[in-house]
Amino acid sequence: MSPAELAPAHRPRYGELVARLAFVPEEEEANQALYGLRDWAQYTPAAGSALVDVYADLASPLSVYRAGYGLTELAQSGLPHPLGGATPGSLLHDAVDRLLVLIAAGEPEGGGRDGDLPARRRLDSLLGSTIRDPRMCAVLARQLAAEPAATATRTALLVRAIDLEAAEPELLLSLRELTAAIEGRPVLAARVAEDVEEAHRYGRPLAGPGAAPTAIRVLSGEGGLVEGLLAVGLATALGTRLDWPESLRTTVVELRRHPEPEVRDAAYATDLGRR
């Protein structure tokens, strides 16, 4: 049954029953219960806790995809904490914490019976491209900051944390967090710059370039390779998305005079012709 099929007074008790059924020995019945936990989570805490327990249990035979989908859907549902969002104490935050503990403890690798880095793979899947809200991505990226093994997942979140419609201080903060995460790693910086361009060149219409050209100039003006590559990636993405307004054409031309040759080459490779 769905919550809508029950009178409100009965929903919490029925939701608790569904949450318990997710752990019965019969796998088919348990998976069937698991599919409904997202809908019951707002009526009983047991349903949300069950999603976290299943997802963080690397030995569980149940549908990891379904549990992860339920967690990310609840996080982005607009429901109040602890169901919604990713701040400490939320369901999604708790699931990430439990996986980080497993990663820090050391994982099996090599693809034998115990798998190959199972907690890391599960974390990557949970925090993949389905989470798009920039603020939520920023919160999750900060949660991963202390775990070196999660750098790739963290940088992917920081790329999505860039909000092109944000005011200059907020936009610069997100860009600086990204540059700090990849500082000293030029190969990663080049890949992340490509990710920035790919992630932000399409999307809902923007009224204009906003604070981005100024933020890009500030970033480029610091003279570093990492900052320069990200500046080119962001300028190219926004220019393509807005059909190259003059402010962004000028920004890319300025980047062609950058002190780092790799940055200059990337800027010269950007075609400033209108799309």
Query: What's the pLDDT tens digit per position in 183-227?
Result: 999 999 999 999 999 999 998 888 889 999 999 999 999 989 999
According to the model, what pLDDT value does residue 273 have? 79
Q: How far apart are CA 62 and CA 114, in angstroms?
A: 16
Contact 263, 228 (CB under 8 A): yes
According to the model, what pLDDT value does residue 72 have? 97
According to the model, what pLDDT value does residue 275 have? 53
- Residue 115 pairs in a beta bridge with 112
What sign for the dihedral angle of Cα 264, 268, 269, 272? positive
Query: What's the pLDDT tens digit per position in 225-270?
Result: 999 999 999 999 999 999 999 999 999 999 999 999 999 999 999 9
- Residue 274 backbone class (left: φ over 0; alpha: ψ -120 to 50; beta: rest): beta
Residue 12, pLDDT > 70, answer yes
According to the model, what pLDDT value does residue 148 have? 94
User: Among 103-117, 146-160, 178-192, where is mean pLDDT lowest?
Assistant: 103-117
- Residue 269 backbone class (left: φ over 0; alpha: ψ -120 to 50; beta: rest): alpha
According to the model, what pLDDT value does residue 1 have? 87
Contact 61, 24 (CB under 8 A): no
Contact 78, 84 (CB under 8 A): yes
Query: What's the pLDDT tens digit per position in 50-100?
Result: 999 999 999 999 999 999 999 999 999 999 999 999 999 999 999 999 999
According to the model, what pLDDT value does residue 205 have? 87
| pLDDT confidence tier of residue 274, bands split at 50, 70 and 90 | low
Q: At what angle do helices 225-241 and 212-221 cross, to 10 degrees?
A: 160
Query: What's the pLDDT tens digit per position in 154-174?
Result: 999 999 999 999 999 999 999
As given in the structure block, the two tokens for residue 196 are 């920035």
Q: How far apart are CA 106 and CA 95, in angstroms?
A: 18
